[in-house]
Structure 1
Amino acid sequence: MPKGYWIANVTITDPQAYAAYQALAPEAFARFGASFLARGGQCTAMEGRDTPQRSVIIEFPSYQQALDCYHSEEYQKARSAREGAAKVEITIVTGV
């Protein structure tokens, strides 16, 4: 079964409010076996968009677990806490 990945581009607009998301999200990631491959650091958009403040790649044991994590009660609680604190794009993809 191929792994699943979240690819997220994040620009934080309210760091103080975003901290609430950062406190809550790890519970969901731990529950679904997530492993961070890239989190923040240097990035440069080469085509199609402005460079986000942060790019994040999260690996899950399966595509289904990646989806389940996003839809989980734990993650949706974290997502609600993040509302208005960041501009976020998340794409979930299968691995090869």
Structure 2
Amino acid sequence: MAAYLLANLTIRDPRAFEAYRQAVPAVIARFGGRYLVRGGAVEVKEGEPGLQRLIILEFPDMPAARAFYDSPDYAPLLALRLAAADGSVALVEGWSA
């Protein structure tokens, strides 16, 4: 069953974040991940979701999503992102009918 990484980020350092943004797709792909949403426009229809820069990644399953986030490959990029942006990140199991 697919799993998703959901991130809602506020960029503090655009230059550093751009370095992260350029480097991270290759690491995501190594773990079978792909972008579904990558910071596009958000049109709020109800409530106040507090969305800034929304990123949604899809992975084959929860172990692959965890392996990506916890990997030594991602660790230096995570440090770069944490220095460049604030936000929330969660892993979510998908649903299958």
Question: TM class, shorter-chain normalised?
Answer: 0.7 to 0.9
Correspondence list, 1:1-96, <5 A? 2-44=1-43, 46-47=46-47, 49-52=49-52, 54-96=53-95
Structure 2's unaligned 5+ residue stretches are none
Query: In the comparison of the two structures, how many residue pairs are matched?
Result: 94
Q: CA RMSD in A?
A: 1.6
Residues of 1 paired with 2:47 and 2:73: CA distance? Answer: 34
Paired letter, 2:40: G
Q: TM-score, normalising length from structure 1?
A: 0.86
- Quote the offset at 1:20 in angstroms: 2.1
Q: Deviations over 1:28-73 (max 9, x none)?
A: 2011011111111111454464231x10110001111001000011
How many percent identity over aligned positions? 35
- Quote the offset at 1:86 in angstroms: 0.6
Structure 1's unaligned 5+ residue stretches are none
Paired letter, 1:50: G
